[in-house]
Amino acid sequence: MAPYGAKTDTLLPVMTLAFLFSLLTITLAVPVKREKRNYDPEEIYYMNGDIRCLRCPPGNMVLRPCTIEDTESTCAPCLPGHTFSEHLTGMSSCLPCTVCRADEEEVSPCTITKNAKCQCKKGTYCPPGAPCEVCQKCTTRCPPDLVIQTPCNSTSDAQCGPPETAIDTTAIIVPVVLVILTILVAVVIWFCRKKCSGNAGSRLIPKILTVSFKRDETPTGDTETPFLQVPKLHFKENITENEKNEVIAKTFNIFVDQVPNGEFQKFVRELGLNDNEIERAKDDNKGTYDKNYAMLQLLHQDKKFDVNIWLKNLCDIKKKKVAQDIADKLITDGLFERTT
């Protein structure tokens, strides 16, 4: 016969396990307290065969359906960090939590009522509205003469554009000086009226006003803007087909360099490129320069490139100075000749 102490050691673990199992069963069987919310009647019920049961609240699953019409089911909570249910549910299991990929980071963890949220790690991105199978690397360098204007984030690549020009201080200084001069003239006139006597004061005032008006005068010719004239161009005489293709490729490079990045999609849309073609060029290429170049190649698929139409299009979108600079460079580089 075993000693008294040995029997106690054997029975204690068995009794403890039995107690915990009974406690867990009672806990799961107790109906979950429902959040007081005004749900649509069609949302709070589900069918268990021919019996209509109340759904379990968010963060739970149905452990046992009801057996009496329009009564509560027996609910059990989801497993924290592993499963969740975001809405009222009639399902017998919770949904599995999302596990972030190796190239993603977790923004918010999974709870029993909310799925985990993931985003691309720093230095990578996925465009919104598209399936994100792999995060893409951000653009870190812009084409020549362009700078990063909008940095890359988890949902969009960096955006390149021309550097911001310095503020024209003349436009600020000149009005300020004129205001100061006007105040000084007014002070002098007031002082003369108070201190100057008789005719001497009256003779001084017209002289001061004359000087003031002369300073306010500005030559009208100084404010005129020189007229910009974009020349008509044509290929050189006796150019071969291969030479023409080489000229077109170099022309594409000049347009990509000169047309501001913020206006580039508007430019190609006006030439006939649709949104699907623009998105295809952006998805198939990395870097703003390569994407814009690919858009020009799509425009040239029908072999109907006409540099004069492209230059006119720039003028139509109020980029006449850009069109003139491009035309001048095409002539200077010997790619085209001016039409007389």
- Same-domain check for residues 209 and 243: no
Contact 319, 226 (CB under 8 A): no
Backbone angles phi, psi at 285, to 5 degrees: -135, 155
pLDDT along the chain (340 residues), means of 10: 45 53 45 54 84 94 93 93 93 93 92 93 85 86 88 89 71 85 88 59 47 43 51 88 89 92 90 88 88 88 81 91 91 88
In contact, 212 and 182? CB cutoff 8 Å? yes
Strand-strand pairing, 51-54 and 71-72: parallel
> Is residue 134 in a domain?
no
The answer to whether residues 314 and 323 touch, using CB atoms and an 8 Å cutoff, is: yes
Residue 192 falls inside a structural domain: yes
Q: How many domains does the chain divide into? A: 3
pLDDT in tens, 81-95: 999 999 999 999 999
- Residue 21 belongs to some domain of the structure: no
Q: Which of 162, 185, 218 is the last residue of a domain?
A: 218
The answer as to whether 27 is a domain residue is no
Burial of 226 (0-12, 13-18, 19+ CB in 10 A): exposed
One domain for residues 174 and 251: no
Same domain, 238 and 265: yes
Could you tell me if 249 and 325 lie in one domain? yes
CATH no. for residue 244?
1.10.533.10
Residue among 337, 339, 311, 334 nearest 324 (CA): 311
Of 218, 253, 275, the domain-final residue: 218
Find the distance separating the first CA and the last CA of the chain, reported in whole Å: 123
Question: Considering the domain boundaries, does residue 150 fall inside one?
Answer: no
CATH of the domain at 70: 2.10.50.10
Euclidean distance between CA atoms 44 and 142, whole angstroms = 55
Q: Are residues 313 and 238 in the same domain?
A: yes
Domain hosting residue 214, numbered range:
170-218
Domain assignment present for 124: no
Which tens digit of pLDDT belongs to each residue from 227-275?
Answer: 567 888 988 888 898 888 899 999 999 999 999 988 999 998 998 888 8
| Total Cβ atoms within 10 A of residue 201 | 15
Q: Among 80, 100, 120, where does a domain finish?
A: 100
In tens, the pLDDT along 156-175 reads 888 898 987 655 566 688 88
Structure tokens at 24: 């867990």
Tell me whether residue 49 is in a domain. Answer: yes
Nearest to 46 by CA among 83, 96, 82, 85: 85
Could you tell me if residue 197 is inside a domain?
yes
User: Is residue 193 domain-shared with residue 274, that is, in the same domain?
Assistant: no
